[in-house]
């Protein structure tokens, strides 16, 4: 078996890892599993010097050995996890079997995984790989919809642009969501967002065999990336389902009246229609776009057009470059 060529992380760009351990054999084992182009290990035998490095230049992974004596491994983990800037950094703790004689309080020591001596090469490899993959998955998900957020959306769009691949990018957002939220409160607003996310995801997925991506920009803004061939049909289906389902989220009187009435801060009574969904679609065909920023700029322009109509609708960008 070729060294450094069967580590299971072949798709991963170079990641930095800080190891705090005085165990040289362990260091060698790690460096032997992954090539430096995949996982670069910066090693410290004591915690003291490592902590400054972690704070100034957070790595993608921290492995800390419980045998380290100057600062305890759990204290190192606590330092990292108690500060929200570093909280997302995955931490693996290395234990000896005797360390496991009594249960650990994992609420107190918020590490992401542990490995136990004697180190068994395949287990070390898979634990580290799994921890890295899990961290990437969890990092950017919207807590409400669990859909990927801005970082993933931008990466996805830029990757497609760089690959010169044709795609349609649909920006969806809700009309009159704010007045709904103001009248009924944020927890009922969240219900509507959960519902919207599910409609979009399931509608897009129902096109069998198509590559699709759905992201949640935040609030009532969602992004769909799909093939230009199906995007118009997807918009129609999303609108049809949204318009059918959204009345269920209003109180019975408002649902009957098909509007909500509320009083603004000036004491003026205002009427708002039921929520609708507006979709602006930008196309990247024959490498028209060079940067994801162009896509969102065009979409924002289209969105204004879509919003002129109080009912759910979609607008396609048919301009040619």
- 249 lies in the binding site for another protein (CB under 8 A): yes
Window of 50-58, 98-106, 128-136, 201-209 that interacts with another protein by CB under 8 A: 201-209
Give the nearest distance from C-beta 187 to another protein in angstroms. Answer: 10
In terms of CB distance, is 104 or 249 closer to another protein? 249
Cβ pair 75, 50 in contact under 8 A? no
Q: Which two tokens stand for residue 124?
A: 């070390």
Window of 27-35, 74-82, 91-99, 184-192 that interacts with another protein by CB under 8 A: 184-192
Residue 47 DSSP code: H
d(CA 234, CA 226): 9
- 201 lies in the binding site for another protein (CB under 8 A): yes
Window of 41-49, 98-106, 243-251, 287-295 that interacts with another protein by CB under 8 A: 243-251
Q: Which of 281, 280, 282 minimizes the C-alpha distance to 304?
A: 280
Question: Tokens 């490095």, residue?
Answer: 53
d(CA 239, CA 236): 5
- 202 lies in the binding site for another protein (CB under 8 A): yes
Residue 141 contacts by C-beta under 8 Å, 6 or more apart in sequence?
147, 148, 149
Q: Which of 175, 99, 160, 133 minimizes the C-alpha distance to 10?
A: 133
**Residue from the set 78, 198, 236, 307 that interacts with another protein by CB under 8 A:** 198
In terms of CB distance, is 66 or 212 closer to another protein? 212
In terms of CB distance, is 274 or 289 closer to another protein? 274
**Residue from the set 6, 69, 159, 206 that interacts with another protein by CB under 8 A:** 206
Half-sphere exposure (CA, 13 Å, Cβ side) for 22?
10
- 274 lies in the binding site for another protein (CB under 8 A): no
Q: β-strand 167-175 against 276-284: which pairing, if any?
A: antiparallel
Q: β-strand 221-226 against 213-218: which pairing, if any?
A: antiparallel
**Residue from the set 32, 190, 233, 286 that interacts with another protein by CB under 8 A:** 190
Q: Which two tokens stand for residue 45?
A: 């035998």
Total site size for another protein, rule CB under 8 A: 21
Angle at CA of residue 182, ends 176 and 188, nearest 5°: 85
- 29 lies in the binding site for another protein (CB under 8 A): no
Q: At 63, give phi and psi (nearest 5°).
A: -115, 125
- 205 lies in the binding site for another protein (CB under 8 A): yes
In terms of CB distance, is 166 or 191 closer to another protein? 191
- 160 lies in the binding site for another protein (CB under 8 A): no
In terms of CB distance, is 65 or 220 closer to another protein? 220
Cβ pair 90, 96 in contact under 8 A? no
- 165 lies in the binding site for another protein (CB under 8 A): no
- 79 lies in the binding site for another protein (CB under 8 A): no
In terms of CB distance, is 81 or 188 closer to another protein? 188
Cβ pair 284, 169 in contact under 8 A? yes
Residues found near another protein in the complex (CB under 8 A): 144, 190-192, 194-195, 198-199, 201-203, 205-206, 208-209, 241, 244-245, 248-249, 252
């Amino acid at each position: 078996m070729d060294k450094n060529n069967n580590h299971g992380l072949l798709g991963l760009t170079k990641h930095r890892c800080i190891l705090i351990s005085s165990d040289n054999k362990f260091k060698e084992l790690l460096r032997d599993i992954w090539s430096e182009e995949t996982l670069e290990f910066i090693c410290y035998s004591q915690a003291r010097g490592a902590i400054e490095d972690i704070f100034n230049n957070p790595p993608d992974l921290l492995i800390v050995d419980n045998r380290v004596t100057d600062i305890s491994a759990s204290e190192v983990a606590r330092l990292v996890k108690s500060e929200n800037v570093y909280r997302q950094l995955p931490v693996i703790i290395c234990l000896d079997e005797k360390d496991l004689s009594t249960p650990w309080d994992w609420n107190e020591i918020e590490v992401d995984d542990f490995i136990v001596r004697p180190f068994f090469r395949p287990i070390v490899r898979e634990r580290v790989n799994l921890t890295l993959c899990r961290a990437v998955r969890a990092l950017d998900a919207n807590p409400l919809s669990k859909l990927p957020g801005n970082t993933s959306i931008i990466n996805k769009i830029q990757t497609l642009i760089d690959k010169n691949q044709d795609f349609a990018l649909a920006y969806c957002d809700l009309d009159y969501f704010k007045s709904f939220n103001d009248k009924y409160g944020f927890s009922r607003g969240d219900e509507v967002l959960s519902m919207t996310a599910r409609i979009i995801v399931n509608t897009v997925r129902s096109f069998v065999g198509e590559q699709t991506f759905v992201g949640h920009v935040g609030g009532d803004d969602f992004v769909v990336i799909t093939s230009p061939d199906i995007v118009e049909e997807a918009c129609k289906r999303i609108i049809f389902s949204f318009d059918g389902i959204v009345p269920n989220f209003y109180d019975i009187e408002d649902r009957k009246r098909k509007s909500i009435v509320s009083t603004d801060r000036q004491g003026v009574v205002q009427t708002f229609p039921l929520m609708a969904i507006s979709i602006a679609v930008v196309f990247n065909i024959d490498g028209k776009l060079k940067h994801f920023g162009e896509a969102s700029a065009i979409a924002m322009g289209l969105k204004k057009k879509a919003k002129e109509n109080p009912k759910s609708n979609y607008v396609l960008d048919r301009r040619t470059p």
